[in-house]
Copies of this chain bind each other. A is one copy, B any other.
Amino acid sequence: MAVRVAVDAMGGDHGPTATVPGVLAALEAEPELEALLVGRPEDIRPHLAAAGSRLERRYTLVPATQVIGPEEAPTQAVREKADSSIVVALELCRQGQADGMVSAGNTGALTAGSFLKLGRIPGVSRPAMPVVLPTVDRRGLILLDVGAHTDPSARSLLEYGLMGALYAELVRDIGRPRVALLNIGTEERKGTSVSREAFSLLQASSLNFVGNIEGRDLFGGRADVVVTDGFVGNVVIKTLEGFAWGISQVMGHDLRHSGLLTLLGAALAAKTLRGLRRRIDYTEYGGVPFLGVNGVCVKCHGSSSAKAMCNGVLAAARIIRQGVVPSIARSVTEDPASQPAGPKTLEATARG
C-alpha cells in the first residue's frame, strides 16, 4: 500500500538540513512511500540536490512561507500563521492529500494544531501524548499521557489504556500488551477517586490489565503500557530527565576524583548514562504519535538528526499502514468497559 506523508521540512533545531536528508533516506528505505515536503522552497531545494532521479517522482515540494518558532505561544501561533509549515502539513492531512504528517517543530503548536485541524477520533474524550521509557529487559514501555491533559476523567484513562495497547501491539509488535495504572500502591483501592474508578473501568475492559503499578516497578519490565494523567506523566518524565542529569554530574565528580586507573571505567559509565539519558528523552524514539487525534501526527524531537527524522517518517508510515487510527476508533466504542452499562453493572455486582 502506497502511503503519503507530509513532513514539516522547517521544524526542529536543524531545519531542512536534517529533515530533507531524513525524508530522502526514508524514501530509499520504503519503496511505496511518497513524501510532501512542506516549507520554504528556497530553503528546501539545496538539500534535494543529493536525491537521485530515482527518488524525484516520489516527493513533492509544498510551499509554506511561514515558520512557527520553538518558543512561540502555541494556540496563537497556529491561529495566526495559517501559512506555516506545521499548519499547511496538517491541512494536507485534513484534506486527505496526505495520510499523515511528521514534525520536529514546536510541540505545543503541533498539539494545538492537530486538535484544531484534525479533531478527535469519535469516541475519544481526550487525546494523549505517549513516550517510550526504557526498561531493564530492553523492551521498553509506553507511558501515557505525558502532558496533553492534566486532569482527565477515569473514562479518559481507560481510553489511554486502549490507545496505548493498540500502539504497542500494532506499531511496537507487542502481543497482548500488559496495561497497568500508575498509582501510589498496588492495592485496588489505592490513590484518588479517579484512580479507583479508572481501575474498575480498566478491569472491566478487554485489555490485559495487570493492575496498579508503582514508580519503583516501572523499569522492571512488568508492564508494556502504563496509564496516568498528563500532570503526573509529565512530572515523571521530566524528573527522570533531571535525575539522569544529576547522576551524571555527581558521578562525573566522583569519577574525576578517583585516579587514573579508572578513567576507562569513567568513560564507560558516562557513555552508559548518555545512552540512558537519550532513552528517556521523551521524543527520541524516532517520533511518537499523538494518540486520539483523528489522523496520524508524529512528533519528533527538536534536536532530531536526519536519521531520527527518517525514523519518524517510517514510524508515521507504519502507523498509517497498520491502521492505528481506525483501530482506536473501533476500540473506544466497542470495548466492553466503554458501554454505558459496563461499569455500572460492575459496580452493582461488586456492591451486591
Contact = CB atoms under 8 A, between A and B. Distances in A.
Given A215-B241, A239-B218, A241-B216, A249 B136 contact: yes
A: interface residue count bin: 35 or more
Nearest to A217: B242
Interface in A269-301: 269, 271-273, 276
A261 interface: yes
A235 B136 contact: no
Contacts of A184: 147, 150, 230-231, 234-235, 238
Nearest to A147: B184
The complex is assembled from copies of this chain, and their number is 2
Given A216-B242, A239-B236, A246-B136, A265 B269 contact: yes
A243 B242 contact: no
A59 interface: no
B191 A216 contact: no
A238 to B, nearest CB: 3
Contacts of A150: 184, 191-192, 195
Interface of A: 134-136, 147, 150-151, 182, 184, 191-193, 195, 214-220, 228, 230-232, 234-247, 249-251, 254-255, 258, 261-269, 271-273, 276
